[in-house]
Amino acid sequence: MIILALPIADSNAQRNSFDPIRHQRLAHDVDPSHRTNPTTLGEIHTKRRRLLVQHALRRQAFTCSDAEEAFSQVLLLPKRPHREAPIQIVATTRDRHPSVSLKLFDFNGDEIPPRQLETWGHIPRAWRASYAHLLHGEYQAVLLQQDGTRALACQTITVPSPPAAMAHRDPPSSGVWKIRRDWNAKMEDLFSAFVAKLFHVPPGERAGWRPLHEAFRDPARNILHGILGLDEDRDGREHSVVLAADCADAPYQVRAYFAWKMELPFLFNHCSRGTARSGSKCHYSKSNLLSVYDHLAHPVDRFNAFIRKSLGWTVHSGTPLNLPQTEASDLYPVALTEQTLRPGVVFVDSGGHLILVTHWQPQSEKSIGALFGVDAHPDRTVTHKRFARGTFVFNPRVRTDGFKAFRPVTYEHQRVRHLRNAELGQESGFSPFAGDQADIRQADRFYARVQKLLNPKRVNAKQVLRAKIEVLHQSMLERVTAVEIGNEYRRGKKSRRVIAMPRGALIFQTSGPWEIYSTPARDLRCLRAIDDVMGYPQKALIDLELYGTLAEQRKKRLVAELTRYRDRQLNRHKIHYTRSDGSKWSLSLREIVARRKQLEMAYNPNDCPEIRWAAPPDTTEYQTCRRRAPAQQRRIMRQARYWFAARRRPDPPPGR
């Protein structure tokens, strides 16, 4: 539960060193006339224990005050602790002090070392301390500066006795889950910390999940793992959480899961697909107060049905494509600042593809600054992304693209509603509404602004180029998985029929096997990533803000150096795909880049893997191909090739 920092008056007497004689007298100084009254004895015991905790805290050189840091908190998870269950203490803060720690003290004022202590995040920063066992009694969890001069937040923790088995949590009489809290700035900070930990990937490593709930079932990632006591996040259980998202659903499912576990209101809109000019229109909303699932007796079954049917059948790629000023929306645009581009924020592109921001990597002497996120795909894979032109695709021709935050939800008068733009001011602690991204009319300006935020100091051009090549390599590795999933489907006994192909712009936006196993949108992003890498040596000269003014001779030298470096790196990075006969074939990024024209028509799952990777005919690589898309589908692909050559998706079709 979230507790505001506990106030303890700041006085010289409280800062005196610990007196063991006073400690003993405080513990035993009770009125003898009350000793025969059990109720009074219990009250005295509770009061004495609290006084002991407060007196023990005076041994430390700090006091707890809710005015010390407005956006700091300490929480106990689960909120009903049991002696036989592992206990977590989680803390978050926006404080930028470099030396902050999370500590737990018993009623004697002695620090209890955790079994494990973790810290992560940028804004906000977060800590998690895990304890295998805690004896019955009261404890004080404190987030404090390590010099002991200031406590940012405190919470009194009571471990009950005797320990009881985790009780089955019955669902509410009506609705999917009960609402016991409201969204506030601290809860948004906890959501950011939850997202950052859930999808954390160490630098240089690769990660992915299929389906989404694989990440939630890892207790090392999920700070809310099993806190309901229902075994809801474990594999192989009768009642386990099931999250299988595509590109539009993933951020919503993450948000809904957090709201469910923390007993918060959750609301989403039913919207049209809209157009590039008008944006989508939202007509009505649904919330966790829906009564349609009241017949389901188990709370996990209710949640799963709500996610699969109500959320899954309502949210689509057009849902987040609202114009900036639209208040009837689930997401609202935020300013491009270090404070607002935080975990839990969503990047929306004009095709309705959503990327959930998971990590801000600050610039350092060893590495350039970077922004990371995760996205989901129709084949139910979830992949890790780094901010770049080929991943976070910004279209300046429309006003619906950019970084957006979930609109906070409030519960009042027995109904749930979204906050309006005017309620998102600085005093609320939420990221304020800002529509300036819609006024950026050139893609170069958008990427330059974000890169300048990530790298306020001058950077090395080779470092930037290396990061772009790593993005391209990661995109191709993800494409290997996508092509293999489509090939496995086509090899199945029940799936050998040709997958029907839609016409025109619907190749990017449809349903059924084509949506799941084709890769037009993914391939278009890969082509953009190729262009970003190949064009960078010349583009490095343009961004004088990052690299400074260069002499003419130095410019020529820089272009030549970057070109040689790029070619070496493209040769070093390789992928391995499975051919039709089951054998592996290796391709370097340089070979793939040379095939970029052919990759404009390589997204059809009815083609063999060799064609999907643009193998030239009459080569050893191509000889194992056993399947080709029908001639009619190849004609449709030639007609649609314009969009791939132009490196842009068609505008959203008109919607109701």
Residue 44 has what pLDDT? 55
Query: For the chain, what's the residue count?
Result: 656
Domains of the chain, CATH where assigned: 2-159 (2.60.40.10), 185-454 (no CATH), 461-646 (no CATH)
Q: What is the pLDDT confidence band of residue 459, given thresholds at 50, 70 and 90?
A: confident
Q: What is the pLDDT confidence band of residue 32, given thresholds at 50, 70 and 90?
A: very low
Give Cβ neighbours of residue 336 (< 8 Å, ≥ 6 apart).
403, 436, 437, 449, 450, 453
And the tokens for 385?
């992304």
Amino acid at 538: Q
Torsion sign (Cα): 232, 233, 237, 242:
positive
Mean pLDDT of 429-444: 94
Number of H helices, E strands in the chain: 16, 21
The Cβ of residue 326 has, within 10 Å, a number of other Cβ atoms equal to 18
Has residue 617 got a pLDDT over 80?
yes
Residue 13 has what pLDDT? 34
Tens digits of per-residue pLDDT, 97-118? Answer: 788 999 999 878 889 999 999 9
CA 139 distance to own-chain centroid: 32
Mean pLDDT of 242-259: 95
Q: Contacts for 492-496 with beta carbons within 8 Å, 24 or more apart?
A: none
Residue 420 has what pLDDT? 94
Has residue 33 got a pLDDT over 80?
no
Share of the chain above pLDDT 70, in %: 84
Residue 246 has what pLDDT? 87
Rounded to whole angstroms, how far apart are CA atoms 110 and 412?
43
DSSP state of 654: P
Tens digits of per-residue pLDDT, 202-225? Answer: 988 888 999 999 999 999 999 999
Has residue 370 got a pLDDT over 80?
yes
Has residue 36 got a pLDDT over 80?
no
Residue 634 has what pLDDT? 96
pLDDT, the chain, mean? 85
Mean pLDDT of 232-258: 93
Rounded to whole angstroms, how far apart are CA atoms 330 and 314?
12
